[in-house]
Structure 1
Amino acid sequence: MRNNQTNTLSMLNSFSINNDLDKIKKDAAESSFIFDRLVLKGQSTILFAPPNAGKTLLIINQLKQAYDTGDLNGLSVFYINADDSQSGIIEKTEILATIGVHTLVPGYNHFKSHSLLEIMNGLAADDEAKNVVLIVDTLKKFADTMDKKNMRHFGIKVSEFILKGGTFIGLGHTNKNRDTNNNLVYSGTSDLIEDVDCIYMMNIEDENTDKSGLQTKHIKLTNQKLRGNNALELTYVYEKSENMPYLDMVNSVNNIDSDTYIKEMILRTEKQNYANYISQYNDAISLISNVLSTAKIDKSKLREHLLQHTNYGRDKCIEIIDKVTGKLINFKMEGKTGRKKVYFLITNI
């Protein structure tokens, strides 16, 4: 019994990190952002988003930027693609290969989904995790997010990998249904959320499509958990269209500050409201455009023209004229007193 106590005490002493404290401090001091204000080296970061919101696009863009700034120097980065078609795998691998990022795909070169846990376990045990970055796309292909026991085991392996200096980035999906406050909800048990260092929810804040079919999407990342000095909110904008090469979409991603985003959102809202107004009163606006295409008219005559040819009242006719002034039409002060507004057409609708 005494030998067992001695052995146990020796084992307990061997677990102590006291003699490793200087090394741990050094590793902590070297912690830096791999992705600007988003992903810290030596941490586990999870990005949750609805399907097709652009999370993979954002990650690849951030990898390219990190490569350009030298933040990937000395790191071995592995992007594990388990959520793509064959053509998608090819185009993403071609992009990532140019910046030295390795792509792993289940079913190729004997790599399987269950290999991920073995890899993290091996890197931690061999003390080779420090300069390794693992990006998992998506989490549900490697662990059953609805299975509490399974996710607990997965979270422990991620934590062990991180404690040895590894960096883990996971991409996951949110539920189709939102909560009562219209917030995104993570699809799965709470175990993984409890184990990781940093969590972001990514939502499409605004999107619009121009006449050519080009989509512009604004996405906001909101932090739900952090153990470092990660940004609490980040906003990005990117472009997407049916025939746009994937690399062009990746390169279109840009980070915008909150003030710029708010100003742009106000302008977009005003533009959309004006377009809706034009559509709602298209008959009256067409009359204005037609009558001013051949002559200049003062405001009272323009108002009377609308009253005679539409069912709108006097106040509404004045409102319509004022609404399109400065956009479709404009005026000059004329007349004997110089106080009469005479309108002219700026452009056709």
Structure 2
Amino acid sequence: MKNMHQTNTLSMLNSFSINNDLDKIKQDAAESSFIFDRLVLKGQSNILFAPPNAGKTLLIINQLKQAHTTGLLDGLSVFYVNADDSQSGIIEKTEILAAIGVHTLVPGYNHFKSHSLLGILDGLAADDDAKNVVLIVDTLKKFADTMDKKNMRNFGIKVSEFILKGGTFIGLGHTNKNRDMNNNLVYSGTSDLIEDVDCIYMMDIEDENTDKSGLQTKHIKLTNQKLRGNNALELTYVYTKAESMPYLDMVNSVHNVDSDTYTREMILRSEEHNYNSYLNKHHDAISLIKNSLGRINMDKTELRDLLINNTDYGRDKCIEIIDKISGKLIGFKMGGKTGRKKVYFILTHT
């Protein structure tokens, strides 16, 4: 009996061997090509975590549109599972995605349920139909309890089996409201899913500003937290949004910014912010200069004395204020009796 048991066990081990299936596995393995430029590889499980309303869905739809335009979606069956939206949001996103051949699944429609997802992943892997399928799940918490260790472990196993058969999985998740001591984003949930997936990005709003018309410009930064591939370690995108702006226009506004350009833009934004703060801090002097030069041009001595006599600033501070706004709010030309004095005037663009 013992020898028979050993023989049966040995036969079982041999039956488990993948040696004879290696050619088929190679054939089924997805190519290491990007679906989203430097962000998501075909045949990879990729999770993007971000705070609510940071723009993660906006980014994904933009990347899908770009991938369609460049042919990176050719031959792929792409499914976007929308479980985090209002009815109007579902309509506008489905219209955008349908135009590029991406199918939208919504819990409660056409008999699709949240609990159906695990069965779908399982079935695609078992039927060897996973290779050219891309599943995008928005958001993860609607399909798996991120705080339940056993639940997330099971979910991670199903995703891994789907990926091993050549599928591509993109999950969108939320971070905690509270950050860590270094102000970094914190994933909300157990570590099981993080351990099972190939690539993880944390997406944060790096910078945002709103102009006088109400148009917001947001810079979002993606930082890689886990990597099994040649994905980018960091990516920065910019997009604009406004209350009256159509969603498609917001999607189309998303664009990548290289690190050098981003650094230059950050410096310029910082300088602009500091300059505007300076104007606000010395608004009494600025208003006096604009009103006075709006009536008559003045040389630097006259302008300085005007500030000294009508504000609480000292001589040096008055000269500093004049120099600070020169070339921005006011300009000058050389004049006076000797032709060597700076004669100031209001710049027309102010």
How would you bin the TM-score normalised by the shorter chain? over 0.9
Secondary structure of the corresponding residue to residue 278 of structure 1: helix
Do the aligned residues in 2 keep the contact of 1:123 with 1:161 (CA within 8 Å)?
A: yes
- TM alignment of 1:147-186, pairs within 5 A: 147-186=148-187
Contact 1:77/1:132 (8 A) holds in 2: yes
Structure 1 residue aligned with 2:50: 49
Cα deviation digits, residues 250-292 of structure 1 (max 9, x gap): 1111111111111111111111221111111111011111111
Deviations 1:134-165 (A, max 9, x none): 10000001111011111111111111110111
Matches within 5 A, 1:133-212: 133-212=134-213
User: Structure 2 matches for 1:218-297, cutoff 5 A?
Assistant: 218-297=219-298
Tell me how many residue pairs correspond in the alignment. Answer: 349
The secondary structure found in structure 2 opposite 1:185 is coil
> Counterpart of 2:325?
324
1:109 corresponds to: 110
Using the TM superposition, give the Cα deviation of residue 178 of structure 1 relative to its aligned residue in structure 2, in angstroms. Answer: 0.7
Cα distance per residue 1:12-38 (max 9 Å; x no partner): 212212122233344557221000000
Partners of 2:313 and 2:271 lie apart in 1 by: 24
Report the equivalent of 2:16: 15
Which 10-residue stretch deviates more, 8-17 or 243-252?
8-17
CA distance in structure 2 between the aligned counterparts of 1:14 and 1:336, rounded to whole angstroms: 103
Give 5+ residue unaligned stretches, structure 1: none
> Structure 1 residue 110: deviation in Å?
1.0
- Rate the CA distance shift 1:279–1:347 in 2: closer, same or farther, 3 A: farther
Distance in 1, matches of 2:276 and 2:150, equals 53
Cα drift, residue 336 of structure 1: 5.1
Determine the C-alpha separation between the residues in 2 that align with 1:135 and 1:28: 20
Which of 2-11 and 282-291 deviates more? 2-11
CA distance in 1, matches of 2:262, 2:55: 18
CA contact (8 A) 2:29 2:164 kept: no
Aligned-residue offset at 1:338: 4.0
Alpha-carbon distance between aligned partners in 1 of 2:124 and 2:180, rounded to the nearest angstrom: 39
Tell me how far apart the structure 1 counterparts of residues 30 and 85 of structure 2 sit (CA, whole Å): 37
1:63-103 superposed Cα distances (whole Å, 9 cap, x missing partner): 01111111111111110011011111111111111111111
Give secondary structure in 1 for the equivalent of 2:20.
Answer: helix
The CA distance in 2 between the partners of 1:224 and 1:195, in whole Å, is 13
3-state SS, counterpart of residue 158 of structure 2: helix
Runs of 5+ consecutive residues of structure 2 not aligned to the other structure: none
**Preserved contact between residue 30 and residue 131 of structure 2 (Cα < 8 Å):** no
Q: Distance in 2 between matches of 1:338 and 1:15?
A: 95
Greater Cα shift, 285-294 or 54-63: 285-294
Q: Residue 348 of structure 2 aligns to a residue in which SS? A: coil
Structure 2: distance between partners of 1:201 and 1:59: 14
Contact 2:29/2:131, CA 8 A, preserved across alignment: no
Distance, in Å, in 2 between the alignment partners of 1:24 and 1:236 is: 36
Are the counterparts in 2 of residues 289 and 348 from structure 1 also a CA contact under 8 Å?
Answer: no
What TM-score do you get using the length of structure 1 for normalisation?
Answer: 0.97
Partners in 2 of 1:41 and 1:190 — Cα distance? 24
Mapped to 2, the partners of 1:201 and 1:65 lie a distance apart of 21
Q: Which amino acid aligns with 2:108?
A: G
CA distance in 2, matches of 1:147, 1:342: 72
Quote how far apart the aligned CAs of 1:6 are. 2.7
Aligned counterparts of 2:100 and 2:4: Cα–Cα separation in 1? 56
Give the share of equivalent positions with the same residue, in percent: 83
Structure 2 length-normalised TM: 0.96
Distance 2:142 2:305 in 1: 68
CA distance, structure 2, for counterparts of residue 215 and residue 58 of structure 1: 16
Say if 1:32 and 1:41, in contact at 8 Å, map to a contact too.
yes
Tell me which amino acid in the other structure corresponds to 1:142: F
Q: Secondary structure, in 3 states, of the residue corresponding to 2:312?
A: coil
Contact 2:31 2:43 in 1 (8 A): no
